[in-house]
Chain A
Amino acid sequence: MWHRDSDRYRMFTRRAIMLGAGQGVLLTGLAARMYYLQVMERDRYATLADDNRISHRLLPPPRGIVTDRFGAPLAINRQNYHILIVREQSPDVRKTLTILSQVIEIAPETIDRVEEDVKRRRSFVPVTVRDNLTWDEVARVGVNAPDLPGIIIDAGRSRDYPEGPHLAHTLGYVAAVAEKDLTGDPLLELPGFRIGKSGIEKTYDMSLRGRAGTSQVEVNALGRVIRELDREEGESGETVVLTLDIELQRYANQRLSEYESAAAVVMDVYNGDVLAMSSHPTYDPNSFTNGISHKLWDSLINNEYAPLSNKAVNGTYAPGSTFKTCVALAALEAGVITPEQRFFCPGHLDLGNARFHCWKRGGHGWVNLHDSLKHSCDVYYYEVSQKLGIDKIAAMAKRMGLGDPTGIDLPSERGGLMPTREWKETQLGKRWQGGETLICSIGQGYVLATPLQLATMTARLASGRAVTPHLTRDHVAPDDITARSDTEFPDLGIPRQHLNYVRDGMNGVTNELRGTAYRSRIKIKGLEMAGKTGTSQVRRISMHERQTGVLKNEELPWKYRDHALFIAFAPVENPRYACAVVVEHGGSGSGVAAPIARDLLTRAQELKSSRPGVSAVNIQSASQILRTSSKKQES
């Protein structure tokens, strides 16, 4: 029987060797695969493993600060304490929050919201409970820390505008990044990152943002940070120094706040520095930093006086009689008048079937250039404009800075309107009418200008140069900002003599008896101003009303009252400052706008934009506003 078993044994041995060989091949295959993965493909997998474990986190840079020309802080970063809760460190989130609500004020809705948030996130992710804690609250939470497991106090930075409403329109504000702002820059996707949404904050957003730092951290599969591997600090944003003088700015705001809605600009006639730019009513930009409430937003949006609009650059108004300065310059240049040439004003001028009235019912009698400005005679300009034609008036107005945006460093500046024959034909498809030239010659009709354009026009009138306004100066070292700019603007090419005739007329307005703004003259010797009133109608006065007696402004609803305007420069000899004031529906230019301009120019000259001794040190301290306060205590 055993011979048979030996058959089985031989068969078994043969097949066992085959099987063993097969298994050997398979095991070798495993070794080969291992070699492939761990030697040949090692680099690829090593990179993938690092991608898994290393996460790059952006460190948001501190936003650059904004100061006025003397270094006074206008936009800074304030320490902002907030409270966070980490679920995995808090055995009972609800209980902890309840205890917390006894220590500091926490709304019951907040507790529900946090509980929801905490459930949705991973257990180690902190959830914000409350923002903007006062120092007192931080201290109270700190003292009670043992009873508040999982509660963390974190210090962040939030934008702060120490001047509040005083500079809302110029500075603008920062707010959370909206969908449309995303450019692919990962910095913008950081939660809590703020970008400039309007004003200087928007124009110089890129410089103010700075450069983000990065932190390399090791994370596990759930995203929990295990440790920091490497850290590269970012750079804080640049300091932006404005040409504004906060003292003058505050004063302008205060002065305008006496009216419903108004705007004013004060600028340097030589270098274009805007020293004050005020728009009333205003708002507090700080309320935007941490998200504005619906109620407040609605009240701002629906306010009749448009507090969100910067009327100095976005409000366009018929310039009224202030425009006569341009018409006079155009007429002198075209040679259609001489300064001494007189026109007779009977109180109206008839053209075809239409009758054009002078503001003075009885008329001014015989009027020359000087008197036409001093008394603001309308008929004089009706006569002159008929000889000139609209296109020559428009050409001069454009040279004086009207009709196009001035190019100031603010977003969404409006350009106003300076009509020409061509403009009317292409835009409205109608022929220009002779009567329209008459209307335009007194700054009514189609002509529209912003207060900033009017200030620019005045500065050009005063300096004879093509001055453009700006809020910051490029390539100026901070400690040089107070020095007068050496880069002079090009000459306008208007003969000095012509400018002097108009300036002389403006001097008559304020400094000669019976000038339209004589009562608002600056009486301080050496600081006198020269100006031009403007009262622009916003409604049509019917023939019937003219016969029964034109209604006084006070008798009309606010919306239908005249705009009060005034432009001026000072001092009369060797001018330095230009000013434009518009009071919406304020009444007459002489009665309402001129006194404001008088006060602003007086104040500007008293303050002196180049007063010494404040520059460099202050700017530096402002850029480190948080640190300096502690340093002062030390020293």
Chain B
Amino acid sequence: MSAFFKLLFRNRLAAMGAVVLSAILLLVLITPILPLNDPDVTATADRFKRPFSEGHLLGTDHLGRDLLSRLLHGTRLSLAIGIAAALIAATIGSAIGIIAGYFGGRTDNIIMRGVDMLMAFPYILLALAIVAALGPGLMNALIAVAAVNVPFFARNIRGITVGLAGREFIDAARLAGMGHSRIILTELLPNVLPVIVIAMSTTVGWMILETAGLSFLGLGSQPPQADLGSMLGEARSAMISHPHTSIVPGIMIFLIVMSINLLGDGVRDALDPRLRSGALSRPRATTLVERVGDTPAATDDLLAIQDLETQFHVGQRVYRAVGGVSLAVKPGECLGVIGESGSGKSVTALSVMGLVASPPGVITGGAVRFQGEDLIGAPYESLRRKRGDRVAYIFQDPLSTLHPLYRIGQQLAEAIKSHHKVSNAEARERAIQLLNDVRIPNAEARVDNYPHEMSGGMRQRIGIAMALANAPDVIIADEPTTALDVTVQAQILTLLDDLRRDRGLAIIFITHDFGVVAQLCDRVAVMYAGRIVEEGPTQVVLDAPAHPYTKRLIACVPELGGGRRELDAIPGLPPVVDDLPAGCAFAPRCDKAQDTCRAGTIALAGPSSRAVRCLYPEEAI
């Protein structure tokens, strides 16, 4: 709770809203004890007095009533009615939404049909119809405003509830023997409540506006009682001759609604966990570069990653996702990068072409050289020209990485047309050719499909075709088969292997699977906590792993044909990269670790093609 308020008031606008709103609330709460004139006493002799006149700070209205007094009493009424309407609508609407969303099926269907009917009205028609039937009056306006907002809450909360009801913890609660009402009250409600609060805080202002609106039309509060809306409505006829009678209540409504909106946005941001981590910021076109230190000198590799350091800056924390990685590929070579989640393997891959989402990603050191030219810190246009043309990517999840609304032919053609001037017909011809290259049957027809019309394996073939579109020199494949079934994985791996042999492609293949690395890659680099701990020719590393981590990782993964057995588990957890220990990051989990392992940085050392970052390696290299 205190964390919530801290977050809320860190937002300066929300704090401002809170201050204004509390001031207004305080003022209207003490209104009855303030030495004010009676708001309803008329004095026609004093009509239309200007603001700051004797005895009437804000002047008087067309019947000579004190405007300040009427304003405060009116504000009191408007706020009370608006908040009451919001509470009523939220309670009834949320109850309906939770019941519909939780029980689903027929209950849901019937309730939501009714809600849809109500939402088929422009809201004011419904409100007007209700007021027409019940007659003008403040309470009837309240009922009307609450009623038209019930469907809004019901639909909103139902959506959230459906999502939650499908979550596994609800299943778990049922298996723990809980009944429906207990699940709704103890499992669902605590999770829905923040959403209800958000929905309320963002609509209270709106409901105050609506009740004021009905009063403005003369359908809400009836004379002599006045809320802000009816004050404005009564002042309208004298608007041109005596504008202050309109401006005073108008500005009050504006202040109330604006402060509630500011506060409501703050509440939403503070309660919505997605916004909390700053996740809703837009990734820039290229990763931010803030390099310190020297740029390593050029080499003659096709693509060389040199001492790369990429960090994530989240609030005060710095996650060292990649802490000085060097890798290089030659034409026709396949390099495997293997590691667990959080080892920095994907971030390394994405850093190459500046595709790490920024914020929060920042490249803080090192270089990436393509044919000797440094890509990090290169101007956007020069980087863009190489993206997909010289260095192409294949990503993990083929459903989310293809644009859902473009035909695959369009997406392939676009990859070509972003780099080469070709006609539409030519690009389409090329797209069909590419589909044939990745062995998609019936390419002429498939080129006009949308991604959702294809299976996962087919979509990943499209991903590969897109990477091949401009005959690049290097392909970076970031776990391209992890989301696929094992039979499909075998097909995709074979395809990649054939393509690289036929075309002399260099591939950097990111994976967590030793079996895949063994089948596809010439060389392999093993990553742990943002660093390479071992590298060498695949066969050598797999047969005689030198780093204890590599050795134990291989041992703890069951392999087909190994039979039933006890697995040699690695104790403990991989470290979090915002708080790395000094020395070897694996030392806390390693049974060979000595004090020297924890003392200082350990270098990656070894003969030309083989290296290990360990003081006490398993094998001499």
Q: Do A and B come from one complex?
A: no
B residues lining the A interface (CB < 8 Å) = none
